[in-house]
Amino acid sequence: MLARAGVEGTISQAVGAFGLRHCRYLGLAKTHLQHIATAAAPDAVTVRNMLGGIVTAYTRWIAEQRTQAPTDSPQRAKVAQSLLDRAAIANQRIEAGLQALDDPQILEAFQIANRAIATAIRQRLTHDTDKSPDELSPPKWRLFQIAFLLMNIVGIADPLHSDRELVDLLRSSVPLQ
């Protein structure tokens, strides 16, 4: 089985190990996308209108990083090229996930996942408080979380898809909200 780090892991490795410039989510800094809004979207077109900027921004970020990739050693240049090629594949998978939402069953699964995550986060945030989950504001996606879901939804939906051979890792040092 081929193992490959997800969006965050690729960016983190590129920055930490090989000196690529760190520029998270160019144009979408501190973007939060609400679970409830994506869960309630009436159709795939609405979801794509809400989230389609992810693909465009990530494409620009990858292109910018290619222009700033290290050239001081062949090894560093090769690693940078490999990491950015992986990022481009991840971006294509995000776009494929957005397109897959045209299938009513995939859209419904995406909406159920958003509702389930929102419910779990709200429940967790009530710990050590006297509030009920319904009293809390709707939780928000971090951009890498929605990208991770979109990257994997096609492989989840299609048992014969080549993405089934991948293992994407989602690691966050930031608490989910």
Q: What is the pLDDT of residues 94-121, one digit of tens each?
A: 999 999 999 999 999 888 888 887 788 8
Tell me, what's the pLDDT at 9?
47
Is residue 170 predicted with pLDDT exceeding 70? no
SS3 2: strand
Tell me, what's the pLDDT at 1?
36
Tell me, what's the pLDDT at 36?
58
Instruction: Please write the tens of the pLDDT for every residue from 120-152.
Output: 888 888 888 888 877 877 777 677 778 888 998
Tell me, what's the pLDDT at 7?
42
Residue holding tokens 């397109």?
99
Answer yes or no: is 96 within a domain.
yes
Say how many C-beta atoms besides its own lie within 10 A of residue 170's C-beta.
16
> What is the DSSP pairing of strand 140-142 with strand 32-34?
antiparallel
Answer yes or no: is 175 within a domain.
no
The mean predicted confidence, pLDDT, of the chain is 76
Domain count across the chain: 1
Answer yes or no: is 134 within a domain.
yes
Q: What is the pTM of this model?
A: 0.71
Tell me, what's the pLDDT at 171?
55
Angle of the 74-100 helix axis to the 53-67 helix axis, nearest 10: 170
Answer yes or no: is 79 within a domain.
yes
Is residue 87 predicted with pLDDT exceeding 90? yes
- Split at pLDDT 50, 70, 90, the class of 159 is confident
Instruction: Tell me which residue range forms the domain holding 58.
Output: 2-167
Tell me, what's the pLDDT at 75?
94
Tell me, what's the pLDDT at 48?
87
Answer yes or no: is 172 within a domain.
no
Lowest mean pLDDT among 73-82, 87-96, 135-144, 148-157: 135-144
CA 18-164-172 angle, to 5 degrees, is 45
Answer yes or no: is 108 within a domain.
yes
Answer yes or no: is 55 within a domain.
yes
